[in-house]
Amino acid sequence: MEKIELEIVALSHSVTQSHNYAVVLGELKGNRRLPIVIGGFEAQAIAVAMERMTPNRPLTHDLFKNTLDTFDVELKEVIINNLLDGIFYAQLVCVRDGEEFVIDSRTSDAIAMAVRFKSPLYTFDFVMEQAGVVLDDAEQKSKQAFSPKPSRPDSYEQYSIKALNKMLEDVLSTEDYEKAAKIRDEINKRNKGK
């Protein structure tokens, strides 16, 4: 079976299940999205890694990554390999001393590990067919419409607070959480300086 590479495009409160979150994965080469409902702790574990935050004490996923690193185990890739009765299944594909082995995992934990290891994330077409949603052309174009172009790629210093807040609203509406985090960091930096 051919694998479809995915990326995290959103992490937010679940619309369908209160007290839960949804991680939305998108095809790198397509317009389908795969929403997966996850718990609050798992959402926090993914968000902490995406934001490159360092907690005072390692979270469980950080501990597991440190353990794999200590024993020279590489996380080659994560595969969301099945969907049964509305439950997603995943596998960690690991390599040690040239030998590949597979570890079953909850999907949310597998995603949290993929973010920490910067490993690719995949699924199969039958999973996307069962649970994926298609982003129509209008939504696709609106997501690409706003793209602030600061003078340096990660510099928002030249913008006013008002402009930064407007940019933050716009990138959040297009679900560009990486840019949103950078803009938020600039706003926070300025607010601390007051």
* CATH code of 88's domain: 3.10.690.10
* Residues 117-160 pLDDT 10s: 999 999 999 999 999 998 765 454 444 433 333 334 456 676 67
Instruction: Note whether 113 and 48 are same-domain residues.
Output: yes
User: Given a cut of 60, is residue 169 above it in pLDDT?
Assistant: yes
**Verdict on whether the full-model pTM lies above 0.75:** no
User: Given a cut of 80, is residue 23 above it in pLDDT?
Assistant: yes
Q: Last residue of some domain: 109, 132, 155?
A: 132
* Residues 32-72 pLDDT 10s: 999 999 988 888 889 888 888 877 888 899 999 999 999 99
Instruction: Note whether 141 and 120 are same-domain residues.
Output: no
Q: Which two tokens stand for residue 36?
A: 């997966």
More reliable by pLDDT, 108 or 58? 108
Confidence of residue 14 (pLDDT cuts 50, 70, 90): low
Instruction: Note whether 115 and 36 are same-domain residues.
Output: yes
Instruction: Note whether 150 and 74 are same-domain residues.
Output: no
Q: Which domain holds residue 146?
A: 137-192
* DSSP assignment string, 60-103: HHHHHHHHHHHTT-EEEEEEEEEEETTEEEEEEEEEETTEEEEE
Instruction: Note whether 122 and 86 are same-domain residues.
Output: yes
More reliable by pLDDT, 149 or 175? 175
Instruction: Note whether 150 and 128 are same-domain residues.
Output: no
Q: What is the mean pLDDT of the chain?
A: 83
Instruction: Note whether 81 and 110 are same-domain residues.
Output: yes
Instruction: Note whether 50 and 91 are same-domain residues.
Output: yes
Q: Last residue of some domain: 132, 158, 179?
A: 132
Instruction: Note whether 141 and 128 are same-domain residues.
Output: no
**What local confidence, expressed as pLDDT, does residue 185 receive?**
79
Of the ranges 53-57, 112-116, 154-158, 175-179, the best mean pLDDT one: 112-116
Number of domains in the chain: 2
Instruction: Note whether 84 and 99 are same-domain residues.
Output: yes
